[in-house]
Amino acid sequence: MTSQTSINPATGENLESYPLHGAAQVQAMIAKGQAAFVNWRKTPLSERAKLLLTASDVLLRKKEEYAKLIALEMGKTIKEAIAEVEKCALCARFYAQNGEAFLADQTVATEYHKSYVTFQPLGIVLGVMPWNFPFWQVFRFVFPSLMAGNACLLKHASNTPGCALAIESVCRQAGFPQYLMQTLLIPGSRVEEVISHPHVCAVTLTGSTPAGKAVASLSGKHLKKTVLELGGSDPYLILEDADIAHAIKTCSNSRMVNCGQSCVSAKRLIVVESIRQQFEQGIVKAFSEQRMGDPLDASTTIGPMSRADLRDELHDQVQRSIKAGAKCLLGGKIPGGKGAFYPLTVLSGVTSSMPAYSEEMFGPVAVIIPARDEEDAIRIANDTVFGLGGSVFTRDLVRGEEIARNRIESGLCFVNMMVRSDPRLPFGGIKESGYGRELAAFGIHEFTNAKSIVVEKPA
Helix/strand/coil (H/E/C) assignment for every residue in 323-339: HCCCEEEECCCCCCCCC
Report the alpha-carbon distance of residue 84 to residue 137 in Å, rounded: 10
CA dihedral (398, 246, 411, 201) positive or negative: negative
Give the 3-state secondary structure of residue 75. Answer: coil
Report the alpha-carbon distance of residue 130 to residue 209 in Å, rounded: 12
| From 229, 360, 409, 446, active-site residue | 229
Report the alpha-carbon distance of residue 402 to residue 388 in Å, rounded: 18
Instruction: Write phi, then psi, for 244 (nearest 5 degrees).
Output: -60, -45
Closest to 161 in 3D by CA, of 15, 22, 38: 15
Instruction: Please name the amino acid found at residue 272.
Output: V
Burial 6-17 (b: 16+ CB within 10 A, else e): bbbbbeeeeeee
Report the alpha-carbon distance of residue 12 to residue 26 in Å, rounded: 31
Q: Is residue 229 flagged as an active site residue?
A: yes
Give one word for 260, left, alpha or beta, with left for phi > 0 and alpha for psi -120 to 50.
left
Q: Name the DSSP letter for residue 341.
A: -
Report the alpha-carbon distance of residue 326 to residue 379 in Å, rounded: 20
Cβ atoms within 10 A of the Cβ of 338, count? 14
| From 88, 171, 259, 263, active-site residue | 263
> In degrees, to the nearest 5, what angle opens at C-alpha 295 toward C-alphas 63 and 359?
105
> In degrees, to the nearest 5, what angle opens at C-alpha 38 toward C-alphas 35 and 191?
60
Catalytic residues, by residue number, are: 229, 263
